[in-house]
Amino acid sequence: MTPIGDLSAVQLRDALARGELSAVETAEHFLARIEERNPALGAFVHVAAGSALERARVLDALPPGSPRGPLHGVPLAVKDLHDVAGMPTTHGSAAVAGQYGRAPVAGTDDDLAAVLGASGAVLLGKTQVPEFGLDCYSENLVAPPARNPHDPATGAGGSSGGQAAAVAAGMLPVAPGSDGGGSVRIPAAACGLIGLKPNRGRVPTADAQSDAAQLVVHGPIARTAEDAALLLDVLCAPAPGPAHGNVVHRAVRAAPQGSFLDGVRAARRGDLPWGRRPLRIGVSTSSPFDAVQDIAVSPEARSALDAGVARLLAAGHEVGEASIAYDPEYPRAFFDVWTTAMGTAPLDDEQAVRLTGLAGAFRSRALRRSAVELARAVSTLRRIEQDVVRAYGSWDMVLTPALAMTPRPLGWYWEGYGLEDPAGADQDYRRQCQYTPWTSIVNVVGLPAVTVPTLWTRAGRAAPVVPMGVQLIGRPSAEAQLLAVVAQLEDQGPAGPGPAGQE
C-alpha cells in the first residue's frame, strides 16, 4: 500500500471512508511528519496535536452508518489569520502576540474553521502568514519564516505561504488558502503546486465592511486537479450557524453540474466542459503595474510561459497573443484599497509601534485617507473591472506567467532596511508588485484563476532546481473549465525534472 503521506487527498479521503485507515493513525502520521520537517521550514506556527488526536478519536468512534462529512478524517490546517476554538491567533503580528509571545486563544471557530469542521476534517494547527496577510511573502516578527521546501534559502510566498510549504513538504495532503491579491496562487506557484482562486461569490465570504472592494476569497492549494476540486467542493458549503459573516455576493456557489470533483473526473474521460471544440487561449505579459513600474519577465518566467503554451497546444487548444492594456489609474486605486485594511485593524497606539515597517507605514497612510478617497478608489476599480472583463472576454481563457521571477530569497523585499524599518516600505511594496505583477488584477475583476507548474529550472548554474509555472484566468464562474485544463496538463506528465520539465 502507498504510504499514508504519499496518498493524494482524494485517495486519502477514500481510504478513510473505506475503513482502510483510521483518523487516528492518519493524524499521527502527519503530526510525525510535522515534527520531523517543520523545524527546517517554518510552515506551522502552532501544532494542536492534543485536540487533533481527540477529534480523530471521536471520528473513529462514530457508529457504522452515521453521517460522515466529505473530508472525514482528512488532516488539514488553517492560516494563522483564522480563529479556531482553543488555538491562538496571532495574525502574524507582534502587535497582537508580542515578539515570540502569547497570542489570544480563540473561543469559537470562524466561518472557515466551521466549514472544515462540518466536513469532518481534523485540524492539526495553524500555519505561517505575513503580518495581517498583507504581503506576498510569509515572514514576520512572530515566528520563523515559511521557507520554500525546494530551496529553503527562499520564501514560500504569501500570504498562504505556510499552507503551501506544508503541502509541498508532505506535512498536509491539501490546504485551504485565502486570496485577496494572489495569496493562494503566489505560494502555490513558488512551491510547485496548483493554486485556485475561485470566482467572486463562489465561496461564502465575510461582510463587505471588512473587504470594501470584495477582493478576498478562499481557495485550494493542492498537488492535483482532483485534490483542488475536492477541497473547492467543501469550501463552497455555507458555514454552519447564523448567516452573519457568511454572505454570498453572487448566486454561483454550486458547481455548474454536480461537484467540481465529478467535473475533473468527467474531463479525464473526455467529457470536457467546453465540448469538442478547442479553447481559444490568449497569452499576455502585460501588467496593470506597467504604468508605474518596470515589470520584467525573467528568463525563467518566460521559459515557464513557453512551456505552458507548448503543453496547451499539445492538449489541442488554440493559443495566440492577446493585446491587453490596463488603465494607468489601477496602481494607485489598488494601493489605496489594499492598504485600507491596516487602518481598520483594532490596534491601540502601544500595539501599533510593534508593527513591521511596511504594515506600520500602510497603517499611517490608511488613517490619513478619507472615506471619499476610498470610495473613489473602489469606484475606479469597479470601472476597471468592467473594462478588463470585456477585454478578457475575447478569449476563453487568458494565460500569463504565474510569477515574474524565481522564488525570492528570504529578506529580499526589505533588503538594505530590515523588516521593522518603515523607510523600506516603498521598496518592499514595489518589489512585491515586480514579483507578482499579474495576480491582483484577477481579484479586482472577480474572475477565477489557477496557477499550475509547467517546468523546473534554475536561476543560475549553482542554484537549486525550483518550480515555475503559469496562470490561467477563466471567464466568470469557469472554475470547472480551469480545473479540466489543469487535469489535461497533468495527463501529459509531471511538470518536474525529467522529460516533461527543464533543469
Band of the pLDDT at 499, cuts 50, 70, 90?
Answer: very low
Q: Is there a domain that residue 486 lies in?
A: yes
Query: What phi and psi values does residue 400 have, to the nearest 5 degrees?
Result: -130, 165
> Tens digit of pLDDT for each residue in 392-448?
999 999 999 999 999 999 999 999 999 999 999 999 999 999 999 999 999 999 999
Rg of the chain over all Cα atoms, to the nearest angstrom: 21
Chain center to CA of 216: 10
* Of 146-150, 255-259, 269-273, minimum mean pLDDT range: 255-259
> Tens digit of pLDDT for each residue in 443-496?
999 999 999 999 999 877 788 999 999 999 999 999 999 999 999 999 887 776
Q: What was the pLDDT predicted at 202?
A: 95
Query: Given 93, 159, 259, 477, which residue is catalytic?
Result: 159
> Tens digit of pLDDT for each residue in 54-98?
999 999 999 988 999 999 999 999 999 999 999 999 999 999 986
Tell me whether residue 159 is one of the annotated catalytic residues: yes
Q: Which residue has the higher pLDDT, 41 or 497?
A: 41
Q: What was the pLDDT predicted at 500?
A: 38
Tell me whether residue 303 is one of the annotated catalytic residues: no
What distance in Å separates the CA atoms of residue 184 and residue 178, rounded to the nearest whole number?
6
Q: Is there a domain that residue 497 lies in?
A: no
> Tens digit of pLDDT for each residue in 305-335?
999 999 999 999 999 999 999 999 999 999 9
Q: Is there a domain that residue 374 lies in?
A: yes
Q: What is the DSSP letter of 476?
A: T
Query: Given 183, 259, 287, 440, which residue is catalytic?
Result: 183
Q: What was the pLDDT predicted at 242?
A: 55
Q: Is there a domain that residue 24 lies in?
A: yes
What distance in Å separates the CA atoms of residue 486 and residue 40, rounded to the nearest whole number?
31
Q: What was the pLDDT predicted at 255?
A: 53
pLDDT more than 90, % of the chain:
85
Residue 101 has pLDDT above 60, yes or no: no
Q: What is the DSSP letter of 210?
A: G
Tell me whether residue 298 is one of the annotated catalytic residues: no
Quote the longest CA-to-CA distance of the chain.
62
How far is CA 170 from each of CA 37, 121, 220, 227, 411, rounded to the nearest angstrom? Answer: 9, 17, 15, 14, 25
* Of 3-12, 170-179, 250-259, 459-468, minimum mean pLDDT range: 250-259
Q: Is there a domain that residue 167 lies in?
A: yes
Q: Is there a domain that residue 502 lies in?
A: no
Q: Which range marks the domain in which residue 76 is found?
A: 4-491
What distance in Å separates the CA atoms of residue 173 and residue 165, rounded to the nearest whole number?
11
> Tens digit of pLDDT for each residue in 115-169?
999 999 999 999 999 999 999 999 999 999 999 999 999 999 999 999 999 999 9
Name the residue among 112, 52, 34, 50 with its Cα closest to residue 80. Answer: 112
Q: State which H helix or E strand residue 473 sits in.
A: strand 466-474
Q: What was the pLDDT predicted at 257?
A: 57
3-state secondary structure labels for all residues of 9-69:
HHHHHHHHHCCCCCHHHHHHHHHHHHHHHHHHHCCEEEECHHHHHHHHHHHHCCCCCCCCC
* Average confidence (pLDDT) over 263-268: 95
Number of domain units in the chain: 1
Q: Is there a domain that residue 212 lies in?
A: yes
Q: Is there a domain that residue 265 lies in?
A: yes
What CATH number does the domain containing 385 carry? 3.90.1300.10
> Tens digit of pLDDT for each residue in 16-50?
999 999 999 999 999 999 999 999 999 999 999 99
